[in-house]
Structure 1
Amino acid sequence: MKRYTLKFQIILLFFLISLPALALSLAASRVNMKEAQEQVVNAKQNSMKMLVKQYDTSLEAIENYIQLTLYADNTYAALRFGEKDSRYQQARVWLRDDLDNLLKYFPLAAGFYVRIPHNNDIYIVKQLDKIPLEAQEFLEENLSGEEDYSNPDILECDGVQYLLKSYKSKYVELGYILQLDELWEQFRNSMEIQDMLAVRLPGRDKHIFFSENTVGNDKMSRYTILEENFSHVDARLELFLPTNSMAGRISVRDRLILYSSILLLVLLPIFMLLLRQVFIVPMNHISCAMQEILNGNTEYRIQQFSKTREFSQIEQAFNRMLNYSQDLKIEAYELKLEKEKEQLINLKLQINPHLLLNSLNTIYSLTMNNKIEEIRDFSINLSKYFRYALRNTSEFVTIQSEIDFIKVYSKVQKIRYPNAFYIMFDVDEELMEERIPPLIIQNFVENSTKYALKPGEEIEILVIIRKSDSTLRISICDSGRGIDEKLLEQISCGQIICDSRGRHVGIWNCVKRLHSFYGEEARFHITSRKGEGTQVWIQIPCRSNVEEKDEGRKEKCDESVDSGR
């Protein structure tokens, strides 16, 4: 098979890339144009959503207040009386004061109006900077007619647009006024010169533009229209974006992409002159270094770095990789020592000299009381306990084995503490052959029998195991004395507990082993309430899933070795 030089392959590759690039640049320009349009549209749509949400929040609160006033508050019931009645006048003043105070909390509202048809009484509570006197008189004149503003409407006075929305009870009509020009001012900063903002009232078939220009039905195709509905008023905010203006922003960049592709062909001779110094020589350095490593010279390092930044980074990374490889050997040895220490701690936890001494005392006590049957059962279960603890040197056991071991342990403890506790298991049958680290569950059951017992009361210990997708969820709960908050905080922080009886490494060792076996996929959480009990949650991957990941990592490692060869 003929082998071509690196220089020939680079030149061929350059032409194979440059020629299609001319065609692809046109397609790229079209894609860039579409993406830019989508970005512009999304940005403006988000601005509209934020503005409408701001108004909806205020309008919802205003609507709630008005409906409460009209239908639930009896304070203004006197408005049903005649205009000359003192009770009517008093209720009128109270309502006016309340609406005036309401304006302080809802600055988006330009004002409120009250219409009492049976007294032909109309008055407006307003913000002076938003509704001048001329506009107030204009609005009062329109409100005095028969127009129904429960369906919102927009009125214009001196070039300013006002939106009116009313709510009616039997005697009173109460509504709010919005100055729409304020909405235009808030949205103007996010608009281009050609963009046009409008408000549409579907119920009245009105279309109000906030500019001198409008968009007729025959010109709709020239615009991208963004819409956002108000939730608490029958109105819609519309933004008209000229399609040509968005496309015009992209064309210059697209032309630059095309010209750049042509320029690459023109600069080909210069590219060939720089090729040797910039690319070929640094590649030779790296190739020689790799050959030295393959020949067994693991101490070899690249001494002279390229002036090209990228190749210099590769050469330095090559040296760091070799240093890292040596460090890994040291780290692997340290991890081996760490694992041996963990195994030693685990062995100490398994043997549990306190249990042995307490068991001997229990046998002695039973002997003194001539309880031969109890001694026989106790001895059999105790021998099963130590047989499992001392012979079980594997990293994983089945859930069935762990549960059987817990049952043996509970029988031993029940002879020492009769009627002090009982254990229940809630485990699906198909999970019995799942494999878990040994003594993980038993350790927490043992803690419950040692520290959670209540004098004169039988506590419950419940072990629940469930499978969700590829995850095992294990829960150990008891109804015992609970854990002190300070002690619980130490456990949650991963600290070893020390007290007058020595160092308690059981929980710490279990958590450490979980992370050693499963890494970050292991989850451990413990909660407790004094006098009510303790709950332990453990979440680990199913053993079959872990083995698949380990096998995958092994295959990747083998592939890396093969490629290195």
Structure 2
Amino acid sequence: MRMPWSRTFLHSLTFKLFACFFLIIVPLVSILVISNHYSVQVVRNQVAQSNQNLLSLYMGQIDRNLEDVDNYLFDLSERNTDMTTMNFPESDDDNNYLLARLRLFDTLNSALSYNDVVDLLFVYSKPNHDLIMAQDFGESYEEREQVRTEVIRMLEEQADEVDYAQWNIWQGNGTYYLFHLVKTGNAYAGAWFNIQRLMLPLKYIDLGNDGTALFATNELVPMSNASWLEKEGIKLALNPNTYSISGNADSYLMMGEASSRGDFFLVALVPDSAILEKLPNLQRLFWAISAAAAVFLLFFLFVMRRVFLLPVKRMIKAMRKLRDGNLDIRIPQVRTSLEFELMNDTFNRMIGEIRDLKIHVYEEQLSHQRAELKHLQLQIKPHFFLNSLNIVYNLATVQDYKLIQEMTKCLVAYFRFMFKSNSYFVPLHEELKHTANYLRIQELRFPGVLSYRVEAPDSLTEAGIPPLSIQTLVENAIQHAVNMDRPIEITVRVQTSEGTIVPSYDVHIEDTGEGFPEHVLQELQQQRWDGENGEHVGIWNVDRRLKLLYKGKAGLAFANIPGKGAGIRLTIPVHPPEQGES
């Protein structure tokens, strides 16, 4: 039984050779990949830590500036008496309110001149809905009025809801602003600036050609560069302990720092390509080794196939043909390694010697078979000769001369056939005629007890059969079935076989006796006969000749036929083999 292809491949030399190669190369490449990954992670951590420290530095500076503004606002609210006037309606003392308003405006302008962080400082009187504002930006009256409108809207909507302890975020007209309010009764002192003002110092941070820094709300909503983030597929998500990776194909490192003075974050985005630029030599080495490994693999495959696998494949192919019995196969002499050339030459010489030896052994075996077949044929002749003399003696005793004449005529025909049967095969019709003649002799011997029938189709009469095969089996049937207590009929019937590999015919020899005894039938079916000791010598003789002549393509079968008696089936190929055919 052939092994499955998968199992054959797993046990092949090719698989084992390449498996050993990969067991060596794969761990080495894996170590290289892991080392490269580890190096990249180390550099990422170092870059992230460096940028995180830089963000902390910048955010600390921003928070200190915001704290200075906070101190100023608290000082203004607590120490400036004009703030008290802002808590009351202007109608109570319009002159005093106007003077207080002018003094506050001058105070705010003076403070704004030495504070370069905020865009404007303001005081708002809620009872009077009056905004006193000193601003340091806007080139036109429209810009200044737009900012003024945003500040008033912020005060009207959120003045009573904001966290007075920190800086808050206001979004207006697509722009984000930071503001801080200090409440004193019904009056507010506040500072306000555009978030873009804080971005200016961040331009000096080295974040790579494509890197950037931005501010985000506490919900991590970007307050600038929103369209760029969407284009790059970056989602803001900060890791408090280390960095985060985001963007298309995870191409950006993200670090963030929260403000201690407001509800916002400073976020830095560094492109991964800028980080890998820190490892140019290691990257080049990694790709060089990877490319070298790929080239070496292809070269290894080419060399091993040409130098090792092809010669082995040629040898295996020759061995398979030799296993199938082809002794003419030779391994072609091609230029290869010295060891394989020696193996191929030795193999070819060995096959030649085996072929010559097999021919010699076969000729010896054939000569032995011929001698043994001659001996088996001669073994039959004296067996029946003695029985024939005994029959003539018995007829002479009863002085039945007519039967003696007929018996003598039958014996002459019988022995004429015996003495001319020196060939291995005779036509089936001659064997059947000889068998019928033998049955007539036995019928004369047992008058009124034995009768017979011989039937054969005309299409099989010229088929070959070993001489005395049918007659020997008929003789065996007479010996075991005929007795003087009851009549018996012996039938010899020939018909074409069914279900055989080669065209064959069956010779059925049946009698109407009591059949084979059970133990005898078992011996016959199991082919337990001993021709040398005289047990079933006739059957052993026929079986031995069939095996010598037909090499297992002919056979004998024994059975008891219900309602009849014993039955023997002799199966013979229609075309006998040529003598000398193996």
For the superposition of Structure 1 and Structure 2, which TM-score range results when normalised by the shorter chain?
0.3 to 0.5
Query: What TM-score, normalized to structure 1?
Result: 0.41
Q: Please tell me whether Structure 1 or Structure 2 has the larger radius of gyration of its CA atoms.
A: 2
- When normalised by structure 2's length, the TM-score is 0.40
